[in-house]
Chain A
Amino acid sequence: MISIDGLRDFGADADSALKRCMNNEEFYLKQVNKVLTGNSFDKLKEAVVNADLDAAFEAAHALKGVLGNLGLTPLYEPVAEMTECLRSKTDKDYSAYIDVIEDRVKALNNM
């Protein structure tokens, strides 16, 4: 079960995110669960595996917005970095990002 304290330990900026959620903890946790159980991460991974940089950019950009709003900093940072590289179509190994992201998602899910 993900808790506010657990998120803090994870490194999330839960305080800002909670303010954004009008200090409604239940609402906040619901949104966090939504992003973890949704298919946004899968979409990003699939685009990277297929080396479809446009699709990868779109997926990363969308995720970045959501993760930022939810204050999930440890996930937000790699996704934000990816987004900028993808925006300028930088040629690099994006699967390294995916590995990092997947590890952190797993950590959250194992809470």
Chain B
Amino acid sequence: MNEFGYSGILKRRVLVVDDEEINRDILGNILGDQYEVDFAENGKKAHEILHDRMTRYSLVLLDLLMPEMDGFELLGLIRTEEATANIPVIVMTSEKPAEVRSIKQGADDFIAKPYDMPEVILARCERIIQLYEDKSIIRSAEKDELTDLYTKEFFHEYIRQIDRNCRDLSMDAIVLNIEHFHMLNEMFGRKMGDNVLRKIAGMLSDMIAEGIGIGCRPDSDYFYYYIEHRESYDEVFATLSKELSGISKIPGVRIRLGVYQNVSKDISIEERFDHAKYACDRIRGDYNRQIFFYNREEHEKDLYHEKLINDIDSAIANKDLIVFYQPKYGIQCDEPELRSAEALIRWRHPKYGMISPGDFIPLFESNGLIQKLDHFVWEVAGRQIRKWKDEFGYTVPVSVNVSRVDIYDSELENRLMKILEDNDLDAKDLMLEITESAYADDARGLTTVVERLQGRGFKIEMDDFGSGYSSLNMLTEIPIDVLKMDMKFIRNMNKDARSHKLVELVIEIADYLGVPVVAEGVEDKNQVDQLRDMGCDLIQGYYFSKPVPPEEFDKFIKAEIEKGKSAK
């Protein structure tokens, strides 16, 4: 057998079937150096073991007289069932009639009882195994003909042996792919492609020959290797890449390597290579990275994000997405006065429970799906404003988020107008929040859109003011209606004199521009008093209320109405 590295680690597997423990022990003792030996005490047990798909046997040594299922019956099954038909069977008997019957049923050889000398037994086993493996059908089952690497089945079996025999050894699972390999085949012909595969396999196998390792080609241009841990794969990669670029100069044809280092032996072999393959595929088309190391946390995060992306439509359909409202109060009066609200989305996921917006909003912003969420919130908020008007005769203007992608959507204006129409609302009932980072992308485009929306009567709020780099510059160019101070200003305002001064400054700027300031993230009375003294107009934060579902928001409206009555 051509294994790599330390010879004697990878052994063929033999199944000894005998009901007598002493016989099994003696045979095991004889065969143990040469083979991995498993035992069964009757035909039935042996049949189960042979059909365990995880194991591949090279030989069965079979006693004839056994309880439960005897040797003849098992031999019959082995020969008629496809999965085992190609496993050689040596029957252990020295009785002539039994020999004849066994031969007729497909036995390949005999071992006498009492047993022959160990050398004879070993030679017989070896000869039969060799004979079977020389039949091409078995050979091709163990080795990939093209590269001489193992096929998946044997690869897994030998990995199990490595794990068992080298328990304390740290191992790496690596997956190598030749990206755009098909182009090699298409441009130079299949033969050339095959040569490349052979070459890569040969080089990889040479490189790992110093240590323990084994390779497999599960799929046309993928290679799997299970090798002793190494810190760096730079050299491996450089050598292979050089070789490949010597053969082909086709741009895009390149090698990428996914490595799962120090594999956990508690997870299945499939899983280990799934991880390495995930790492390998993660850098597909990313020409800055050729080697990628598997990282569990990152993988889990990716899977989580993928799940969220897949779930967004059903979340909307199943009403798992809920719009909450956080009140904004005017504070430049004797008693704080409810002025408006901000619509904030919440996701009650059937599997993950309440998901923080911080988990999914940046994700959806990065892939454009945020638009879907925005539209959903606009529509829900539009209906809610109408509902409050109808129920209480009271108007709560609601701010909704307008993301960067929305701004460049030619349908933006129509969409918003339709919501006003559908719910019979005034444009100033639905306030639009844009973030200052949108300005950094395309100042002129943003200005145009803002002006057009204002022309329709919408009020534009600048969200997260002060969190980006373009704040001051932007204020002179974009005619915003409200300025929302970034939460961080408030959080830090009492930390030191400078931070305190910054808040004052922002309020002064807003005053100079003649637009009201909203302070977000206000949590205590002290902050409210200070902000009032500084001239801040509106406050949003836990001091008044956290974001709440619309039914709960009703109480703020009722309180406001009560106040109005008692004032009269």
CB of B316 to closest CB in A, whole Å: 71
| A89 at interface by CB-CB < 8 Å | no
Hey, what's the 0/1 contact readout for B101-136 against A, CB within 8 Å counting as 1? 000000000000111011000000000000000000
What is the CA–CA distance of A61 and B21 in the complex, to the nearest angstrom? Answer: 14
Of the residues B20, B21, B23, B29, contact of A21 by C-beta under 8 Å: B29
A69 and B65 in contact (CB under 8 A), knowing A20-B118, A21-B26, A31-B25?
A: no
Contacts of A22 in B (CB 8 A): 29-30, 118
Q: Are B29 and A69 in contact (CB under 8 A)?
A: no
List the B residue with the shortest CB-CB distance to A19: B117
Q: Are A24 and B114 in contact (CB under 8 A)?
A: no
Contacts of B118 in A (CB 8 A): 19-20, 22
Hey, what's the 0/1 contact readout for A11-23 against B, CB within 8 Å counting as 1? 0000010011110
CB of B43 to closest CB in A, whole Å: 15
| A78 at interface by CB-CB < 8 Å | no
Chain A residues numbered 1-37 whose CB sits less than 8 Å from any CB in chain B: 16, 19-22, 24, 27, 31, 34-35
Q: Are A70 and B65 in contact (CB under 8 A)?
A: no
List the A residue with the shortest CB-CB distance to B118: A22
List the A residue with the shortest CB-CB distance to B95: A87
Q: Are A71 and B29 in contact (CB under 8 A)?
A: no
CB of A83 to closest CB in B, whole Å: 10
A61 and B114 in contact (CB under 8 A), knowing A20-B30, A22-B30?
A: no
CB of B211 to closest CB in A, whole Å: 31
Chain B residues numbered 463-514 whose CB sits less than 8 Å from any CB in chain A: none
A–B Cβ pairs within 8 angstroms, 15 of them: A19-B118, A20-B26, A20-B117, A20-B118, A21-B29, A22-B118, A27-B29, A34-B21, A64-B113, A65-B114, A66-B23, A68-B113, A69-B22, A69-B113, A70-B22
The 9 closest A-B pairs by CB, nearest first: A68-B114, A69-B114, A65-B113, A66-B22, A31-B22, A66-B20, A20-B115, A69-B115, A19-B117
Beyond the given A16-B117, A19-B118, A20-B115, please list 12 additional residue pairs across the A-B interface where CB-CB is below 8 A.
A16-B114, A21-B26, A22-B29, A27-B29, A31-B25, A34-B21, A35-B22, A62-B20, A64-B113, A65-B114, A66-B20, A69-B115
